[in-house]
């Protein structure tokens, strides 16, 4: 039996070879067999009694600790790799299909648009600087967005009442931004209008605003009302409005809204703040289309835009902006038959003659437009217009 201090395998063959020679009892304390034996330690009696099924010895070696932590590290590495893979796949998907740009179904048709200039038969009359709308049907029109009233909304076969209300609200917002915004009228801003346009029509919208053309597709004035800021500006901030909206489901997934409104602006020369104002009248008739995605995204597809505006000289460019004749100015000779933009039943031509406005209630246009006694349109006029508003029936925009 080995004495205390000796390694389990016994003393080395030549104890004198130790670092302290033969006289040092501990010269073999770092012998290999001793080190191997030191990695195993016997449990005490109390430890064995506390754990009935515990092994008789416990392993304290560094290799055993590495074996215990190895599986844990492996799982952490696998989880991290999985998370990185998922993040990469999400980034790739978002890069290919950005949110809000996914299109379903056939792409929208190009918007068709035309503008008919209305030339005055006489010199443009100046308006009262303080009450410019008096003595015209616009005296009884509402001011601003209050003149754009929504009809009663009811569910259609494939759109519930909430969806119909949302589409009508989007149509009204489009009219407000594109016809009543001072920034848009001055040509300083169009982003609010663009955000309401179906993304598939964004290229057509951008081309019309950047490179207007009188080709029936790319007139800026087909999308919005815009004055030439070097020629005319608003004389007063109030804009008078009268018109109607109507809606109908034209297919299982399509809701169509028609709008027909007359906007009356008081304008003056841009270079003379003291000049007398005059009135510019713009009648806009639009066909707007919505599918369920468009209703949810608060966007619309413009199918058709028809505008009559005056006083404008026949032959004046109207694709980029409007340059109305101002107080005291006359249109060139050679005018076509008169057209009254205040009358909801009036038709259209490539160019027309602006009829003299009549006060509401005096007969003629003002009384014909609204049976209630005001100068507004009736709902039937919008339906009549919609039935004749197919792209083939719309004349090309004036040059």
Q: Of 12-21, 198-207, 257-266, 281-290, where does mean pLDDT reach its minimum? A: 12-21
Strand, coil or helix: 389? coil
Q: Compute the distance between CA of residue 215 and CA of residue 219 in angstroms, rounded to an integer.
A: 7
**360 conformational bin, left if phi > 0, alpha if psi -120 to 50, beta if neither:** beta
Q: Compute the distance between CA of residue 300 and CA of residue 199 in angstroms, rounded to an integer.
A: 9
The structure tokens 């890069």 sit at 95
3-state secondary structure 20-55: CCCCCCCCCCCCHHHHHHHCEEECCHHHHHHCCCCC
For residue range 68-109, list pLDDT tens digits in order.
555 666 777 788 888 888 888 877 666 654 444 444 455 668
So what's the pLDDT on residue 356?
A: 77
Distances (CA, A) of 398 to 208, 222, 323: 15, 12, 14
So what's the pLDDT on residue 385?
A: 33
Considering the entire predicted model, what is its pTM?
0.65
Mean pLDDT of the region 33-47: 58
Confidence of residue 324 (pLDDT cuts 50, 70, 90): very high
More confident residue, 87 or 233: 233
Q: Compute the distance between CA of residue 302 and CA of residue 38 in angstroms, rounded to an integer.
A: 87
Mean pLDDT of the region 128-140: 93
8 Å CB contact between 192 and 182: no
So what's the pLDDT on residue 98?
A: 47
More confident residue, 5 or 314: 314
Confidence of residue 8 (pLDDT cuts 50, 70, 90): low
Mean pLDDT of the region 30-36: 58
Q: Of 67-76, 108-117, 216-225, 281-290, where does mean pLDDT reach its minimum? A: 67-76
Q: List, as one string, the DSSP characters of 74-105.
A: HHHHHHHHHHHHHHHHHHHHHHHS-TT----S
Question: Side by side, which strands form the sheet with 352-354?
Answer: 142-143, 232-251, 254-269, 278-290, 301-310, 112-120, 352-354, 338-339
Q: Which two tokens stand for residue 252?
A: 């299982």
8 Å CB contact between 314 and 271: no
Q: Compute the distance between CA of residue 250 and CA of residue 287 in angstroms, rounded to an integer.
A: 12
Is the predicted pLDDT of residue 348 greater than 60, yes or no? no
* Residues counted in the chain: 399
Backbone angles phi, psi at 64, to 5 degrees: -65, -40
So what's the pLDDT on residue 108?
A: 65
So what's the pLDDT on residue 79?
A: 80
For residue range 351-388, list pLDDT tens digits in order.
888 887 766 555 443 333 332 333 333 333 333 333 33
Mean pLDDT of the region 116-132: 93
More confident residue, 354 or 124: 124
Q: CA triplet 262, 341, 114: central angle to 5 degrees?
A: 80
So what's the pLDDT on residue 335?
A: 53
So what's the pLDDT on residue 375?
A: 35
Mean pLDDT of the region 212-230: 95
For residue range 301-323, list pLDDT tens digits in order.
999 999 999 999 988 889 999 99
The structure tokens 């009233």 sit at 149
Is the predicted pLDDT of residue 246 greater than 90, yes or no? yes
Q: Compute the distance between CA of residue 153 and CA of residue 251 in angstroms, rounded to an integer.
A: 18
Q: Compute the distance between CA of residue 196 and CA of residue 362 in angstroms, rounded to an integer.
A: 40
Q: Compute the distance between CA of residue 214 and CA of residue 217 in angstroms, rounded to an integer.
A: 7
8 Å CB contact between 124 and 227: no
């Amino acid at each position: 039996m080995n004495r205390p201090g000796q390694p389990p395998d016994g003393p080395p063959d030549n104890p004198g070879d130790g670092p302290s020679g033969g006289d040092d009892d501990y010269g073999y304390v770092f012998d290999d067999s001793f080190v191997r034996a030191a990695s195993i330690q016997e449990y005490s009696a109390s430890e064995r009694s506390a754990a009935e099924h515990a092994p008789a010895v416990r392993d304290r070696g560094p290799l055993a600790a590495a074996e215990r932590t190895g599986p844990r590290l492996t799982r952490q590495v696998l989880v991290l790799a999985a998370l990185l893979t998922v993040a990469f796949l999400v980034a790739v998907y978002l890069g290919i299909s950005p949110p809000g740009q996914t299109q379903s179904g056939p792409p929208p048709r190009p918007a068709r648009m035309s503008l008919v200039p209305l030339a005055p038969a006489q010199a443009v009359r100046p308006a009262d600087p303080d009450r410019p709308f008096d003595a015209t049907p616009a005296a009884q029109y509402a001011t601003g967005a209050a003149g754009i009233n929504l009809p009663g909304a009811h569910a259609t076969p494939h759109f519930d009442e909430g969806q119909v209300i949302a589409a009508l609200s989007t149509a009204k917002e489009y009219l407000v931004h594109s016809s009543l915004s001072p920034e848009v009228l001055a040509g300083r801003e169009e982003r609010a209008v663009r955000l309401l346009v179906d993304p598939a029509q964004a290229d057509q919208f951008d081309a019309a605003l950047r490179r207007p053309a009188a080709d029936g597709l790319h007139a800026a004035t087909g999308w919005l009302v815009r004055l030439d800021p070097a020629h005319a500006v608003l004389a007063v901030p109030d804009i008078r409005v009268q018109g109607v909206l109507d809606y109908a489901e034209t297919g299982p997934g399509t809701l169509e809204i028609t709008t027909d409104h007359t906007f009356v602006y008081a304008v003056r020369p841009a270079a003379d703040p003291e000049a007398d104002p005059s009135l510019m009248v713009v009648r806009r008739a639009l066909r707007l289309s919505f599918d369920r995605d468009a209703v949810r995204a608060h966007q619309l597809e413009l199918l058709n835009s028809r505008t009559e505006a005056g006083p404008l000289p026949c032959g004046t460019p109207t694709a980029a902006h409007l340059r109305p004749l101002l107080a005291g100015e006359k249109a060139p000779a050679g005018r076509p038959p008169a057209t009254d933009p205040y009358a909801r039943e009036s038709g259209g031509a490539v160019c027309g003659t602006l009829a003299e406005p009549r006060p509401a209630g005096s007969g003629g246009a003002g009384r014909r437009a609204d049976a209630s006694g005001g100068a507004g349109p009736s709902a039937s006029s919008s339906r009549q217009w919609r039935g004749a508003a197919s792209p083939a029936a719309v004349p090309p925009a004036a040059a």
